[in-house]
Amino acid sequence: MSWDTHVRYAAGIVIATAVVTAAAESQPQASDILYHMAEATRALHYTGTFVYHRGNQIHSLKIVHRGEVNDAEGSGEYERMTSLTGAAREVIRDGSRVVCIYADNRSVVVEKSPSTKYFPLALIGASSGIGEYYQIEVKGDDRVAGRATWNVAVRPTADDRYGYAIWIDKESKLPMRSTVVDANGRILEEIQFTSLTTHDAIPDAWLEPEFGSAGYRWFANTKPEAEAGADDAAGDTVDSDWNVSWLPAGFKMLEDHEQMVSASRVPVRHWVFSDGLAMVSVFIEQLDDVKKPLRGFSTRGAVNALGRVERKHQITVVGEVPLDTVRRIAGAVEYRDTQ
């Protein structure tokens, strides 16, 4: 082998190494991709049609999203999601409230949106602690609905919470496909866009409800918070002696407040727990003789809810965690009489 050939081989190896290194460096970090996705889902104006698959049910849905505007008026997100198949249902969010139209049950539920907004995944990073409970990595590149995507996997390290796989459009950073999986990798639900278009603006008309609601039963949370305070004085408030004696590892309380809800006339104590990705709400409400208690469970894709009654209080746990985790949390809600 001549000296010339040696030089050529060496040069080839150097170039190949440089290309591989450059390729590796060009693949962004999973946490960066998720961060930009969260930003895009909040800020962009887009419309699209997607398929929602859970269990043996497949539904087609339509979404119109007007992104948050950071101008002087500072308008929040507006969104309308409508079912195209199955039961006629629609949810409209306008930044301050959310309207759910259940045409199949001829009812409408109106709730207030929390005034404080939080940026999800803000805690992702070396110091967040999320890495202790999830493994997050870019699995590679893929294509969804004709678009080039990154496939990011979020795997839980314990079976008391779920994992996720998300395919994110490289151009818009919007999620094109997402799945929620259990600890064994079994898909619990899946969302996949079949069409997605970004816009410069979303006209008001696109956010108008599609389904009429005349003659429906309305459950609207229109009660001002001041009245909630009045109820406190009347003794309907939930006292602070309720505790939860068990939570999955890494879960911390993010919220503990009393609020009004549409289907109740008394304030409800609402606890919010999270490990940074998975979330669980606990609602505690004083029961009266008229109100029918909630007893049992409900599974909505990856969300499980469980209701039970203790000391004439309705305890309801709702979480995007396995039913067994919801059960354990519900069983751990207890009253400690400090008198």
Partner 1 sequence: MREKLEILSAMVDDELDIESQQSLTDELLANPAMKGAWRRYNLIGEVLREEYAREPRTAMRPQPVQPWHHVPQSASAAKPLLARWMPIAASMVLTVVGTITVTGMLRDARPSLGPGEIRAIVEQLPVVQTPTADMADAAASDANQVALVRYEESVPMEHDERLESYIVNFNEQRVNRGMPGVHPYVRIVGYETAR
| Sole binder of partner 1 in the list 31, 82, 149, 172 (CB under 8 A) | 82
- 228 by DSSP, 3-state: which? helix
Identify whether the C-beta of residue 77 lies closer than 8 Å to the C-beta of residue 38: no
Q: How far is the CB of 141 from partner 1 (least distance, A)?
A: 17
Q: For residues 287 and 265, give the distance between their C-alpha atoms in angstroms, rounded to a whole number.
A: 10
Number of H helices, E strands in the chain: 4, 20
Instruction: Note whether 113 binds partner 1 by CB under 8 A.
Output: yes
Instruction: Note whether 191 binds partner 1 by CB under 8 A.
Output: yes
Q: For residues 32 and 17, give the distance between their C-alpha atoms in angstroms, rounded to a whole number.
A: 25
Q: Closer CB to partner 1, residue 19 or residue 215?
A: 215
Instruction: Note whether 178 binds partner 1 by CB under 8 A.
Output: yes
Instruction: Note whether 331 binds partner 1 by CB under 8 A.
Output: yes
- 23 by DSSP, 3-state: which? helix
Q: Which residues in the 229-268 window bind partner 1 by CB under 8 A?
A: 245-246, 254-255, 259, 261-264
Q: Which amino acid is at 201?
A: A
Instruction: Note whether 121 binds partner 1 by CB under 8 A.
Output: yes
Identify whether the C-beta of residue 174 lies closer than 8 Å to the C-beta of residue 33: no
- Contact letters for partner 1, residues 149-168 (x by CB under 8 A): -----x---------x-x-x
The phi and psi torsions of 40 (rounded to 5 degrees) equal: -65, -40
Instruction: Note whether 86 binds partner 1 by CB under 8 A.
Output: yes
| b (16+ CB within 10 A) / e for 175-184 | bbbbbbbeee
- Contact letters for partner 1, residues 17-36 (x by CB under 8 A): -----------------x--
Size of the site for partner 1 (CB under 8 A): 95
Q: Which residues in the 296-325 window bind partner 1 by CB under 8 A?
A: 296-303, 305-308, 310, 314, 316, 318-320, 324
Instruction: Note whether 103 binds partner 1 by CB under 8 A.
Output: no
Instruction: Note whether 46 binds partner 1 by CB under 8 A.
Output: no
Q: For residues 252 and 277, give the distance between their C-alpha atoms in angstroms, rounded to a whole number.
A: 11
Instruction: Note whether 55 binds partner 1 by CB under 8 A.
Output: yes
Instruction: Note whether 284 binds partner 1 by CB under 8 A.
Output: no
| b (16+ CB within 10 A) / e for 267-280 | bbbbbebbbbbbbb
Instruction: Note whether 185 binds partner 1 by CB under 8 A.
Output: no
